[in-house]
Structure 1
Amino acid sequence: MASPLSRFFSGVGVKRLSQVEVAPDASNQHEFNGINEFRSIFGSEKRKFETKFIFLSDDEDKLLEANGFMTWYDARENHPTRTEFRLYYSSNEVLASANSNDLVVVGKTGADQLAVIVAPQNSTSEKQLLWLFGMEEAANKFMVRDLTGDKRDMGFAGRYILSSLGMEQDETAPDFLDELLYKFGKVFPTTKEFSAYARSTVKYVSPVEEPDETLMAWLEREELLFKTLEKVIVKDQLVKGFGPDGTDVEEFIKLSLSIQNRRKARAGFSFENNIAILFSLNRVHYSHGAVTERNNKPDFVFPGIRYYHEAGFNPELLTMLGLKTTAKDRWRQVLSEAAKIPNKHLITLEPSISRNQTEEMKANNLQLVIPAPLFGTYSAEQQKGLMSLRGFIDLVNGRQNHYSATPLLF
C-alpha cells in the first residue's frame, strides 16, 4: 500500500526564520513574514488553528514540543482595496528556542490543525525536512506546496522522518494476522524469533546478489508485521483499562512508555539480527558483540574477536562495524571502540545526514555505510563518500582472501 505524504499534510510552507520573527529583544510581534502564498491553502477568511509546535535537534535530549494556536487573518479586512494577511502564533517554548536562519515548516495536518516544525540551520533534522518536502533550499519567504494531490509513496526514508515527528503511520498487514496469532498468540516473541518469521514471508529477494535491497525489504516487512501484532495486543490492554477502576493515569503512562521503549529496542535488535544473517549468507567471518579494550563491545568485528586479540595478526586485515538505527550525534560513540582499528565503519538507517556531520565523520576516519536504497536522500557530492552494504561486504570478503580462517560462529 502506498504511503503518500498527503496522508499527513494537505499543504506545507517552508522558509528560514528572520531575526524579527523569533528574537524577543528585536520584536514581540509573534508573526511570520512572507506569508502571502498561504492564501492558496488557508483561503481569505480569518481562521484559528490548533497547533503543535516541534523543535527538532540532532541532540535527542534537546527535542521540544508545545501546544498552542495560530491565527490567519487580514489586518486590513475593512479596507476597500488593500489586503495584508498575517500569521500569528501563540507564545511557546519552541519558537522561543529558535534562532535566525533556522528552518521552519508550517504544515496543515487537519481541517483546523497545523504543525510548526523548527530545525537548526545546517543540522541533519533540517536536511531531512527539506528532503521530505522536496526542496533543495529555503529562502526568507515561505515556499508553499499543495500536497492534496500527491499520491507518491514516501518510502522507508519518508516514514522514518515522519516517525521522528511523532507521526506514526497506522498501517498493518491484516492478511498475516491469523498466522501471527497462531504462531505467537497475543504475546510479543523475542526479536530474533520475530525477525526470522518476518524474513520467511519475504519472497523474491537475493541476500547475496542484492544485500542492500534485501535488508530494506526484511526491515520494512518486519516493521509492518510487528505493528499488526502490536495493535491487537495493545487494544486488549486498552479494553481492560488501567488499575482497579480502569482509569489509573499512571498505569496508562507506564503502558505508553513501554510501547515506545519496545519499539525502539525492537528496531535496534532487528537491525542487528538481519545484518548478522546477511553476513552469514555472504560467508563473512565475524564476531558479534565481543569485548575489546576497556570492556568496549563493538557491534561487529571482522574476521573475529579471536584474530583481534591475536598479537601476530595483521591489524590491516581487521575491520569493525558499528550499527545505529539513528545516527544524529550518536555516531561518535563508535570512535572509542576497537582501538586497534583506526578506521571505523558505521552503518545506519538515518536518511539525509547533514553535510556538516558527514564531513566530521570523514575527519574522524569513520566510513559511513548506508543501504543503497537510501543513497537518494543524500546530495550527489555526499554520495561519493558513502559505502553501500554490498561495498562493505566486498571489503571484508576481500580482506578474508588474505588469510586462512575457519568459519567463526558466534
Structure 2
Amino acid sequence: MKQGYLSQYFDGVAVKRLSAVEIDVGRSNQREFNGAKEMRRLFGEPTGKVQFPARFLYLCDDDDEPVAGQGILTWYDAREKARMERGVMRQEYRLYSPSIATVSQCAAEGDLLLVAKRTDGGALVVVAEKNTLIERQLLWLFDLSEKLTYPGFSVRAELETNQDKIGFAARVILEQIGVDAEEEALDYLEQMLAQFGKTYPKAELFSAFARNTLKDVSSLDSTDGALIAWMEHEEILYRTFENHLLCEQLQKIGQANTKDANPVIKIVQSTLQRRRSRAGLALENHMEHIFREHDITYTRGGITEGRLKPDFIFPGITHYHDMAFPENSLTMLAAKTTCKDRWRQIRNEAGRITVKHLLTLEPGISEHQTREMQTENVQLVLPRNLHEFFMPAQQAWLLDVSDFIHLVKKRQQYT
C-alpha cells in the first residue's frame, strides 16, 4: 500500500459489461459471475465461502446522487464439495452478488460493472450506465479502458503505477463513489500552526500560503498546470490543518464526558459547510493571482444589475457601468469548482455581456448540459488536462484557462 495512490483504498478492481441474462430478472434470477483465473488474483483461492460487506451503486450522468444500497458479496469455489466428495479435480470460482433492488432495477445490458476489493476488507460494486461520462471517468481512474473485454472480467491489482497516483481529478471521481481520498502534508503542519495558530485563517491567506509553498510553480510557465497544482496542494494542506483542529475539538468533547451529541453534530455541519465554501474561494483566489501575474485588469465581486455580483468582470466594474464602453470588450467569468445545474445561476449576472464564461474543475459534464450551455450562451472553461473527460464533440467547444487568458488580454488591448 502506498500513500497517495489507489492502492491506499483498493487491493484491485475488476470490470466487465453486463449481459442480458445478468440483469434481466424475467430471463434469469442469476446473480453469479464466473470467477475466471484473473479474478483469483483479486480474491484468491480460499476454502469455503468468503464474504465481503459491500456497497452497491448505480451511476449515470443525469442524477446528482447515486442510487445506493448495502449487501454482501460472496466468493466461493462451486466445485469444492464435488472435489472433496467425489474427487472431481476441477475448480470453478464464482462471485455471488445479491440483487440489490434499487441498483438492479436501474442496470441495463451493456452497462459497466466494476467490482473493487477494498483494503479495509469490504467491497465496492458499481454499475455505470453505458456510454456515459461517469463510465469514462471510472475506466480512466482505474486505467482499464484498454483492458475491458466482453463478456468476462478484466482485472487490475497492485494499483501503484504513476496512473494510480491520486491527483485532483481522481479525488473528484473517488468522491462520487463514496471514497474520501484523504492525504496529509504533515511536514507543513508545524509551519501552518505557527502562522495561523489554532483558528481557520481567511481563505485568501491560506491560498497564498499554498502558492508560497510551491515556489517552482508559476502560471507564466503553465497557466492550466499552475491552477491545478495550487488547487491540489491547497486541498491537501487544508485537510491536514483541518484534521489537526478537528481532533483537538473532538478530544475536548470526549474529555467533557457529555452524552449530548449536539456539539459533535454542529462541528460536523460547520466542517462540511466550511469545506464547500473554502474550495470555491480557493479557485477564485488562485485565478485572481493568475490575472495579476498576467497583468490583466479586473474587478472581483463587482455589483451589476439587481445587486448581483459576478465573480470577475473584465476590464473592470467601472467599464461595465460606463454605457459608452463597448460591450464586445467586456468579459465575465464565474468560477465554480463543480457546476451541475448551478451554472444557470450565472445567466443574469451581467446583462450587458452576451456570452458568460464559466470556469469549473468538474471532470466531465453531460452532453445534454453542455448543449444547454451553448444555447444559453455560457462558455465552459476548464484546465487542459480535464478536457479528456469530455466527449470529442464537446472538447472542440471547450476553452482551457490559457485560452481564456489570451482572450481577455486581447480585449484588454483596446481599453
TM over 0.5: yes
1:347-386 matched pairs, under 5 angstroms: 347-378=359-390, 382-386=394-398
1:11-50 matched pairs, under 5 angstroms: 11-22=12-23, 24=25, 27-29=28-30, 31-33=31-33, 35-36=35-36, 37-45=38-46, 46-50=49-53
Mark the CA change 1:330 to 1:276 in structure 2 (over 3 Å): closer, same or farther. same
Identity %: 41
Mark the CA change 1:328 to 1:86 in structure 2 (over 3 Å): closer, same or farther. farther
Q: Could you give the per-residue CA deviations for residues 19-58 of structure 1, whole angstroms, max 9, x where no partner exists?
A: 54445555444x1546534233223433211112234454
| Equivalent position amino acid for 1:113 in 2 | G
* Residue of 371, 391, 401 corresponding to 2:413: 401
Mark the CA change 1:292 to 1:97 in structure 2 (over 3 Å): closer, same or farther. farther
Asked if structure 1 preserves the Cα contact closer than 8 Å seen for 2:113 and 2:128, the reply is yes
Tell me the CA shift for residue 106 of structure 1. 0.8
Tell me the CA shift for residue 82 of structure 1. 5.7
Tell me the CA shift for residue 212 of structure 1. 1.8
2:138 corresponding residue in structure 1: 129
* Residue of 216, 223, 229 corresponding to 1:217: 229
Instruction: Decide which moves more: 176-185 or 364-373.
Output: 364-373
| Equivalent position amino acid for 1:392 in 2 | F
1:116-155 matched pairs, under 5 angstroms: 116-136=125-145, 141-148=151-158, 150-152=160-162, 153-155=165-167
Asked if structure 2 preserves the Cα contact closer than 8 Å seen for 1:286 and 1:302, the reply is yes
Q: In 2, Cα distance between the equivalents of 1:250 and 1:19?
A: 49
Mark the CA change 1:86 to 1:386 in structure 2 (over 3 Å): closer, same or farther. same
1:229 corresponding residue in structure 2: 241
- Are positions 1:245 and 2:246 aligned together? no
* Residue of 171, 174, 187 corresponding to 1:159: 171
1:9 corresponding residue in structure 2: 10
Q: In 1, Cα distance between the equivalents of 2:353 and 2:128?
A: 35
Ranges in structure 2 where 5+ consecutive residues have no aligned partner: 83-87
Q: CA RMSD in A?
A: 2.9
- Are positions 1:327 and 2:339 aligned together? yes
Ranges in structure 1 where 5+ consecutive residues have no aligned partner: 404-410
Tell me the CA shift for residue 305 of structure 1. 2.7
Q: In 1, Cα distance between the equivalents of 2:251 and 2:65?
A: 35
| Equivalent position amino acid for 1:127 in 2 | R
Q: In 1, Cα distance between the equivalents of 2:244 and 2:361?
A: 27
Tell me the CA shift for residue 109 of structure 1. 0.6
**Would you say how many aligned residue pairs link Structure 1 and Structure 2?**
402
Q: In 2, Cα distance between the equivalents of 1:142 and 1:247?
A: 52
Q: In 2, Cα distance between the equivalents of 1:150 and 1:127?
A: 20
1:260-271 matched pairs, under 5 angstroms: 260-271=272-283
Mark the CA change 1:219 to 1:120 in structure 2 (over 3 Å): closer, same or farther. same
- Are positions 1:108 and 2:117 aligned together? yes
Partner SS for 1:350: coil
Asked if structure 1 preserves the Cα contact closer than 8 Å seen for 2:186 and 2:240, the reply is yes
2:71 corresponding residue in structure 1: 68
Asked if structure 2 preserves the Cα contact closer than 8 Å seen for 1:289 and 1:298, the reply is yes
Asked if structure 1 preserves the Cα contact closer than 8 Å seen for 2:39 and 2:155, the reply is no
| Equivalent position amino acid for 2:151 in 1 | K
1:406 corresponding residue in structure 2: none
TM-score normalised to structure 2 length: 0.85
* Residue of 186, 204, 219 corresponding to 2:198: 186
| Equivalent position amino acid for 1:67 in 2 | Q
Mark the CA change 1:97 to 1:39 in structure 2 (over 3 Å): closer, same or farther. same
- Are positions 1:305 and 2:317 aligned together? yes
Tell me the CA shift for residue 103 of structure 1. 2.9
Tell me the CA shift for residue 395 of structure 1. 0.2
| Equivalent position amino acid for 2:54 in 1 | T
